[in-house]
Chain A
C-alpha cells in the first residue's frame, strides 16, 4: 500500500478518541477530502519541479508511535539552547513530554494544541484562528486532517512573552520509519511580542518523515520572531508549511537555518493583510553529500505602504542540490511597496547544483521591487589573500563561507542563539574559528 492510501485508510481510526467539536471534525473531514483529491504533489507541478517526494512516499511509514518513549535530558541536552532561559514545548515521537517541557498560563498561553483543540477555555481562539490562515493545498490539508498535537501559543493584547519559547520535536527512531504531522498555532494579538525557536531532531539513523504546519497570526503592531533550526540526521525528511497572517503595522521575521536532513522543503507564506507591515524572510543553507533543501517562499502584498525583505544564502558541496523559488505578489491596490529579494549561492564542488527562480507578479504601479540571484564559487583572490596571511585553505574557505552567511546571522536578535548557529556552522565546516560573535 502506498503512503497516500495508507493515510486515507487510517484517517477514520485516527479520529476516534479525539474529543473534538463538530466544527473541528467538519474541518478535518473537508481536509482529508482535499488530500484524497489532490494527493502528494508531483514533479509535474511547477512549484515541485525540482523536488521529488517519490523516494519518501514509496516508503512504508508508521503513522503512530506504538510505544511511549522517554528520553533522558542528558541525552538531548545538546539540542536545546541551554544557556538561554526559555519556555520549552517538547514532543517525543509526536507525544508531549511534560518532563522535558516548561509551559505557562501566566498572562500568556504557552502549551499544547491537543489541549487547545479539546478544552472549552480555548474554543474562542480556536474558532477564530485555527485553520484560517492556511490555504487548502494538499500537504497543509493532510496535516489538518490528522492534526492533534503541536504547540499552542497565545499572546493577548499588549503582552510580550517574557522569555523565548523553544519548540522541539524529537523522534527516537525506536519505531522505524515514523511519519509525524505536528501542527502549531501561534496567535500574537495587538501589540503582542513573542520569539520562538523550533527544531526537529531525530535521535538515531532511522527514517522519519515530518509534514508540519505552523499558522502564525500577527495582530496590529505585533512582533513575532521565528527561528527554525533544521540540522537533522541524514535519514530525516521535513516538509515545513508555515503560513503567516499580518495585520497593520506588524513585523514578522522568519530565519531558517538548514544544515542537515535528507530532504527539506520549506513552504513559507506571508499574507500581508494590513498596511505598514514588514515581513522578513532569511535563510542560510549549508549542505553536502546528497542533501536537498528547497525554499519556496511567498510574500503576498495585499495592502499599500508595506515592506518585505528576503535574503537567502546557500552553500552547496559534494552532490547537494538546492532550490529557491521566491514569489512576490503585489495586488493592484498595494501601492508604495518596497519588496526586496535576494538569493546568493556558492557551489563548492562541480557536482552541486542550485535552481533559483525569483517570481514577481506586480499589479500596482507605484512600487519598488527588486530581485537578485547569484551563483558562484568562492572568491579565489580573497582565498589567496588569506593564505598569504598564513590561513590554511580549509580555514580560509570556511572563513569565506562564514562571512558569506554573516549578514543573515547578523539579524538574529537572540545572542545565545546566534552564537549557537555560528558554532553549528563552524562544526559543519570542520573548523575552529574561535570567534567571539
Chain B
C-alpha cells in the first residue's frame, strides 16, 4: 500500500531523513521507533504533505501512485490519515462540526453528496461509544482545553469517522495514562482490517503491548538502521537505542 523509496527530506536545506526505504502492505501494522531527533515526526509530516519540508531525493508511493506532488487534503481524500503528536486547538469550531466538514469535503472530492444528517449522527454515536467519548464532549471546541489523553482519543475518534486506508499514529502514546492508552489502543485495534494499514511511531515499547506490530523498524539519524518482528521492540526496551548505534558502529 505504501512504498517509500530512498526518501531524503528536510527543512531549510538540511536533510533530516537520509534515504528511507519502507514497504507497508494492507493488513499490516508497522512500528517505527527511535530516539529524539531521529526524524520520526519529519517522516510522518512528509507522508501527510506538510509543505515546510522539502524532499531532496526519492519518492513516496501510495497504492502505486506517487503522492509527493499532491496537496495534503488530496492525500487525505485518497485515504492517508495522520494522528498528530500535538493536535491543534481550533477554538470556535466544535468537534462535531469539524468532523462533519472533513467527511463531507472528502465525499465532495469523490463526487458524492453530503452524508445525510441521520447517517452522520448514527456514525458519530457509534464511533464516540467505541472511544468511550461522552456526548457533551462533542459540542466542545476542537481540542480547546482538552487534556493530552482527550486530544489523542479525539484523534482516534476522527480516524474512526474517516475510515482511512493508511493511518500514521505519531507518538499517540505521549501524555497518556494507562486507561487512556487502553481506550485508544482498543479503538485502533477495532479499526484494523485486512484492507487497511497502520504505522505506529513511538519512543516507547509500552504502546506496542496493546497495538501489536507485525514489523518494527528502528530509525536513527534519519535512516532505518534495523528492522525485525515485534521482539525487536522488547530488545530495544531492554538494551536501549545506544545498543543499536553501537551495533552500527561496529559494522
Residues in chain A within 8 A of chain B (CB atoms): 379, 381-382, 384-393, 395-396, 399-400, 402-407, 433-436
Contact of B158 with A389 in the complex, beta carbons under 8 Å: yes
Q: By the criterion CB–CB under 8 Å, are A382 and B104 in contact?
A: no
Given the contacts A388-B48, A434-B114, A395 and B101 also touching, CB distance less than 8 Å: yes
**Minimal beta-carbon separation of B102 from chain A (angstroms):** 4
Shortest 9 CB-CB distances between A and B: which pairs?
A403-B92, A406-B92, A390-B76, A387-B72, A390-B106, A389-B102, A385-B88, A387-B73, A403-B93
Residues of B within 8 A of A379 (CB): 88
A392 touches B92 (CB 8 A): no
Q: Which residues of A contact B97 (CB under 8 A)?
A: 433, 435-436
A-B contact pairs, 9 of them (CB 8 A): A381-B88, A386-B90, A388-B72, A395-B105, A402-B93, A403-B93, A403-B141, A406-B93, A434-B114
Q: Are A387 and B100 in contact (CB under 8 A)?
A: no
| Residues on B facing A (Cβ under 8 Å) | 48-51, 71-73, 76-77, 81-82, 84, 87-93, 97-98, 100-106, 109, 114, 141, 158, 162
Which of A386, A389, A406, A434 is the most central at the interface, judged by chain B CB atoms within 10 Å of its CB?
A: A389
Q: Are A390 and B88 in contact (CB under 8 A)?
A: no
Contact of A390 among B84, B105, B141 (CB under 8 A): B105
B76 touches A389 (CB 8 A): yes
Residue of B nearest to A395 (CB): B105
Are A393 and B101 within 8 A (Cβ)? no
Tell whether, in the assembled complex, residue B90 and residue A385 are in contact, meaning their CB atoms are under 8 Å apart.
yes
Q: Are A392 and B73 in contact (CB under 8 A)?
A: yes
Q: How far is the CB of B116 from chain A (nearest CB, A)?
A: 12
Q: How far is the CA of A382 from the CA of B141 in the complex (A)?
A: 13
B146 to chain A, nearest CB (A): 14
A393 to chain B, nearest CB (A): 7
Nearest CB to that of A404 among chain B residues? B92
Q: Tell me, in angstroms, the Cα distance from A62 to B84 when the chains sit together.
A: 61
Residue from A382, A387, A389, A404 within 8 A of B71 (CB atoms): A387
Chain B residue contacts of A399, Cβ below 8 A: 90, 93, 98, 101
Q: In the docked arrangement, what's the CA distance between A405 and B104, Å?
A: 23
Residues of A within 8 A of B84 (CB): 385, 388
Contacts of A391 in B (CB 8 A): 73, 101-102, 105
CA distance A435 to B141 in the complex (A): 14
Docked-complex contact A407 and B92, CB < 8 angstroms = yes
**Contacting A389 at CB < 8 Å: which of B89, B91, B114, B162?**
B162
- Contact check, A384 vs B72: say whether CB atoms are below 8 A apart: yes
CB distance from A379 to the nearest CB of B (A): 7
Q: Is the CB of A403 within 8 A of B88?
A: no
For A387, the chain B residues whose CB sits under 8 A away are: 49, 71-73, 76
- Identity of the chain A residue whose Cβ is nearest the Cβ of B83 in the assembled complex: A388
A381–B51 CA distance with the chains assembled, in angstroms: 11
CB distance from B8 to the nearest CB of A (A): 22
Nearest CB of A to B107, in Å: 9
Residue from A384, A393, A433 within 8 A of B50 (CB atoms): A384
Q: Nearest CB to that of B87 among chain A residues?
A: A385
Question: Which residue of chain A lies nearest to B50 when distances are taken between CB atoms in the complex?
Answer: A384
Query: Once bound together, how far apart are the Cα atoms of A433 and B98, in whole Å?
Result: 10
Q: In the complex, A380 Cα to B87 Cα: how many Å? A: 13
Q: Is the CB of B91 within 8 A of A403?
A: yes
Distance in angstroms from B169 CB to nearest chain A CB is 13
Chain B's closest residue to A403 (CB) is B92
B76, B93, B100: the one contacting A388 at CB < 8 Å is: B76
A386 vs B142: C-alpha distance when bound (angstroms): 11
- State how many angstroms separate the Cβ of A61 from the closest Cβ of chain B: 41
Knowing A388-B82, A395-B101 touch, does A403 contact B90 (C-beta < 8 A)?
Answer: yes
Give the complex CA separation of A387 and B101 in angstroms: 11
Cβ of A282 to closest chain B Cβ, rounded Å:
14
Decide if B90 touches A388 in the complex (CB within 8 Å): no
**Which residues of B sit under 8 angstroms from A386, Cβ to Cβ?**
90, 98, 102
A384-B50, A385-B88, A395-B101 as given contacts; A390 in contact with B93, CB under 8 Å: no
| Nearest-Cβ distance from residue A311 to partner chain B, whole angstroms | 13
Min CB distance A402 to B, Å, is: 7
- In the assembled complex, the Cα of A399 lies from the Cα of B71 at a distance in Å of 18
Let me know if A400 and B90 touch, CB within 8 A: yes
By a CB distance below 8 angstroms, the chain A residues around B77 are 390
Residues on the B chain within 8 Å of A392, using CB: 73, 105
Quick one: closest A residue to B71, CB to CB? A387
Within 8 Å CB of B71, what residues of A? 387, 393
Q: In the bound complex, do residue A434 and residue B104 qualify as a contact, i.e. CB atoms below 8 Å apart?
A: yes
Alpha-carbon separation in the docked complex, A381 to B105 (Å): 19
